[in-house]
Amino acid sequence: QKEVEQNSGPLSVPEGAIASLNCTYSDRGSQSFFWYRQYSGKSPELIMSIYSNGDKEDGRFTAQLNKASQYVSLLIRDSQPSDSATYLCAVVGPGTASKLTFGTGTRLQVTL
Amino acid sequence: DVKVTQSSRYLVKRTGEKVFLECVQDMDHENMFWYRQDPGLGLRLIYFSYDVKMKEKGDIPEGYSVSREKKERFSLILESASTNQTSMYLCASSLTAGRGYTFGSGTRLTVV
């Protein structure tokens, strides 16, 4: 079982819709959770971090964390074509104080 | 904002050459990382460093070495480049993993 799992996609949503991206992780003791956005040919860019159960909102982005179920999700409201990218989920596991484990990413396509 | 600078955006090297990839960060971060990213395989950790002159192997260290003589600089060395080392190489730094990583812009290396 991979430590951090994401559906590779592509996830296709129409412009203006809500995009929902999901991530599960295997280590129950994981502590910190991040979402990165990566445009084709570019490096990953941190867009959200979440540390406790519940929702965290930042503009059109909402991160959701459920530690009991070991999943973290990213909602993008009012999706725009510029949101088309690969979204990487990353997790800090227990005993790995300085190291992130990344999922392989979900490719999002926002269609006109 | 933290800036992580990778010295080259694109490199073309011949098989058997010794290749140096340089990474410099400007925010006094303790932790620095080298990843390679390949389609379908996601980000794979090559080496990381928690402090000057300190290094630890990641998931795929074979064929690579690193050097960290100064806190701000972390170099990746391909001792004898091979075609299977053709990839996007990403450097990252962090104060602690709990704050996520900042990535450099990446070096796309082609070995011919």
Question: Which residues in chain B (75-104) have CB-CB distances under 8 A to chain A?
Answer: 90, 94, 96-104
Q: What share of chain B is helix, strand, coil (3-state, %, to 5)?
A: 5, 55, 40
Q: Tell me, what's the pLDDT at A36?
A: 97
- Inform me whether the pLDDT recorded for A22 exceeds 70: yes
How far apart CA A105 and CA A95 sit, in angstroms, is 24
Under 8 Å between Cβ of B69 and B52: yes
CB contact under 8 A, B97 and A44: no
Task: Please report the number of interchain residue pairs, chain A to chain B, with beta-carbon separation below 8 angstroms.
Answer: 54
| Angstroms from A81 CA to nearest CA on chain B | 22
Q: What integer is the mean pLDDT of B87-100? A: 87
pLDDT of B41 higher than 90? no
Given a contact cutoff of 8 angstroms between Cβ atoms, the answer to whether B32 and B46 are in contact is no
Q: In angstroms, rounded to a whole number, what is the distance separating the alpha carbons of residues A86 and A44?
A: 9
Question: In sequence order, which residues have a C-beta less than 8 Å from that of residue B104 and are 6 or more positions away?
Answer: A43, B4, B5, B6, B23, B90, B91, B92
Residue A77 CA to residue B99 CA, distance in Å, equals: 24
Q: B14 vs chain A: nearest CA distance in angstroms? A: 23
State the pLDDT at residue A95. Answer: 65
Model confidence at A98, in pLDDT bands (50, 70, 90)? Answer: low
Question: Quick one: CA torsion of A22, A27, A30, A33, rounded to 10 degrees?
Answer: -20
Statement: residue B78 has pLDDT above 90: yes
Q: What is the mean pLDDT of chain A?
A: 93
Q: Quick one: pLDDT at residue B40?
A: 84
Helices (H) and strands (E) in chain A, counts: 0, 11
- What is the Cα–Cα distance from A81 to A112, expressed in whole angstroms? 7
Closest residue, chain B, to A6 (C-alpha): B42
Residues 3-42 of A with CB under 8 A from B: 8, 31-32, 34, 36, 42
Choose the closest CB to B42 out of A32, A46, A105: A105
Higher per-residue pLDDT: A9 or B91:
B91
A9 and A107 Cβ atoms separated by less than 8 Å: yes
